[in-house]
Amino acid sequence: MNLDWINAMCYDYHGSWDVSSTGTLAALYDPNSNVSRSDGLESWIKARIHREKLVMGLPLYGRRWKLKNPSVHGIGAPAVGLRPGNEGAMLYSEVQEFNAQSNAKVVLDTQTVSYYSFAGTSWIGYDGVRSVERKIEYAGSLKIGGYFFWTVIGDQELEIS
């Protein structure tokens, strides 16, 4: 193969192209579809890409939806659009600030290995420290070439040890 590496963009699984319901930004697993990090990376491996040339992408931002009904707030909850801004995108530091200022309920969804938070009609899907750690462990178990973060301006206050 004549490539140094392949950056697999394992994020943006949900966003402005479907605003009818909330969704995980970068699910490790998705029990309801084959659109997930595990399905994507394993399809590259099945296609016989050299594992050491495969690099997994991780987002350092979240996406913010407007809930149709604030009492229905899980992954896949009905939504009426994204919040204003760059297609609902928020830097990780902005997600943390929103969570603190609005006293948002923060949930680590163990099925998808991703976070979401909600307060009122605002719902944000993102990765936090524990979900990133788990995804990095997963990359290690696949023995792939490594991982990268998108985008570098979003790395404020995210510490991975």
Domains located in the chain, CATH noted = 6-145 (3.10.50.10)
- Tokens representing 42 are 């394993």
- Tokens representing 99 are 């969570």
pLDDT exceeds cutoff 50 at 161: no
Neighbours of 148 (CB within 10 A): 15
pLDDT at 89: 86
Q: What is the pLDDT of residues 21-61, one digit of tens each?
A: 998 989 999 988 878 889 899 999 999 999 999 999 999 89
The residue with tokens 């809930």 is: 67
- At residue 159 the predicted structure's pLDDT band, cuts being 50, 70 and 90, is low
Neighbours of 39 (CB within 10 A): 15
Distance CA 14, CA 119 (A): 20
Of 120 and 10, the one with more pLDDT: 120
- Taking the CA atoms of 92, 98, 99 and 105 in sequence, report the sign of the dihedral they define: negative
37-46 helix and 129-142 helix, angle to the nearest 10 degrees: 20
What mean pLDDT comes out for the span 92-112?
A: 95
The residue with tokens 């009122």 is: 120
Distance CA 113, CA 91 (A): 19
- Whole-prediction pTM value? 0.87
pLDDT exceeds cutoff 50 at 114: yes
Distance CA 105, CA 127 (A): 15
Distance CA 158, CA 161 (A): 10
pLDDT at 55: 95
